[in-house]
Amino acid sequence: MLHHARVFANLVLTPALLLAAATAAGALEAPSPSAGAWEFLRPQFYGERPIGLVDETFMSLEAPANTPDPAATPVTIHFGPAAIGRIKQVRLIIDNNPSPVVSTFDLAEGARIEQLGLRVRVDRFTSMRVIAETRDGALEMRSQWVNASGGCSAPPSPAGGGALGEIRFRASPDGKALQVSIRHPNNSGFQIDPASGDPIAPHYVASLHISAGGAPLLAAETGISISENPTLRIVSDRALAAPVTVEAVDSKAMRFSAEWRGSAAATASNQSDSGAAHRP
């Protein structure tokens, strides 16, 4: 899985580097945000397949047009009744980020997800887009402009309480919504240590696997465009079956896992194990 994550990271960084080189060599006027990584990523991921663009009742993307915090911008992907249970994969792309592919979610067959919410880094004025593939192979895309500056290079927050990889859950009273938070720096590789002035090496959550009631719910490949202390909010159209198990692996091959047992009084079983995963 980590090998796949590294291949994935190389794939998405290349278009951004090409874009930067073209910008440096180009005219004095700034490039349009629409000239971002999407033109390179579209043929790699989707070829010439047609993509639906207009049906907001099927799927929509919610993000602030002017984000108050570019290092932790809230994003919510909504699925309408016609989409619930039909989505196979969801990919979130921020065109002008250094690593444009924020996350790829693979939804298990039968997963009845109404919303996916997360916080992301936004580096500059950009188009943010979400592309969903249905189980019959159709594609739908929604996009939105977001104005931001410096989200990927913003310094890390002062150290807080909790151990690396600690996983916490917050559920709605009806059990249909569950927020999963992982304590992790998710360093982007573009940050500077404010104390030493040295660059901070990238260190991020690379993958997540979530199951509910013993059955797979979703798997995600993630990267440096996810905010510090990654958070994922899942909303279903019915109560999530307990237990909900979360397993995460970071870019240093450290593994973290926890279980939510369906009650606020239940104690999650959290553990981290750097020895359980080996570096290829």
pLDDT tens, 211-223? 999 999 999 999 9
- What's the confidence (pLDDT) of residue 160? 63
Placement of tokens 């958070």 in the chain: 231
Determine which of 10-24, 40-54, 82-96 has the lowest per-residue pLDDT on average. Answer: 10-24
4 — phi, psi (to 5°)?
-60, -40
Q: Please, what sign has the CA dihedral across residues 39, 45, 48, 53?
A: negative
- What's the confidence (pLDDT) of residue 10? 40
- What's the confidence (pLDDT) of residue 9? 41
User: Cβ–Cβ contacts within 10 Å for residue 276, how many?
Assistant: 12
Domain boundaries, the chain: 2-26+36-262
pLDDT band at 108 (very low <50, low <70, confident <90, very high): very high
| Average pLDDT rounded to a whole number, residues 216-232 | 98
Contact yes or no for 192/75 (Cβ under 8 A): no
Angle at 186 between CA 184 and CA 188, to 5 degrees: 165
Of residues 267 and 88, more confidence is placed in 88
- What's the confidence (pLDDT) of residue 13? 46
d(CA 116, CA 236): 9
Full DSSP string of 27-56: -SSPPPGGGSTHHHHHHHHHTT---B---T
Determine which of 23-37, 76-90, 107-121, 211-225 has the lowest per-residue pLDDT on average. Answer: 23-37
| Average pLDDT rounded to a whole number, residues 226-250 | 97
| pLDDT at residue 233 is higher than 70 | yes
Give every CB contact of residue 46 below 8 A, 6+ residues apart in sequence.
131, 139
- What's the confidence (pLDDT) of residue 263? 66
Task: Give the closest residue to 260 by CA, choosing from 177, 186, 183.
Answer: 177
- What's the confidence (pLDDT) of residue 35? 52
pLDDT band at 162 (very low <50, low <70, confident <90, very high): confident
Determine which of 13-22, 107-116, 187-196, 216-225 has the lowest per-residue pLDDT on average. Answer: 13-22
Contact yes or no for 186/227 (Cβ under 8 A): yes
Q: What is the mean pLDDT of the chain?
A: 85
| pLDDT at residue 93 is higher than 90 | yes
| pLDDT at residue 150 is higher than 60 | yes
- What's the confidence (pLDDT) of residue 158? 81
| pLDDT at residue 241 is higher than 70 | yes
Determine which of 28-32, 60-64, 238-242 has the lowest per-residue pLDDT on average. Answer: 28-32
Looking at the chain, the whole-number percentage of residues with pLDDT higher than 90 is 78
Rg (CA), the chain: 19
| pLDDT at residue 144 is higher than 70 | yes
| pLDDT at residue 31 is higher than 80 | no
CA distances from residue 85 to 17, 53, 79 in whole angstroms, order as listed: 37, 20, 10
The DSSP secondary-structure symbol of 275 reads: S
- What's the confidence (pLDDT) of residue 159? 65
| Average pLDDT rounded to a whole number, residues 197-202 | 96
β-pairing verdict for 177-182 and 231-236: antiparallel
- What's the confidence (pLDDT) of residue 212? 97
Name residue 237's amino acid: D
Return the CATH fold of 2-26+36-262. Answer: Immunoglobulin-like (2.60.40)
| Average pLDDT rounded to a whole number, residues 199-227 | 98
Task: Give the closest residue to 186 by CA, choosing from 271, 251, 253, 274.
Answer: 251
d(CA 167, CA 247): 9
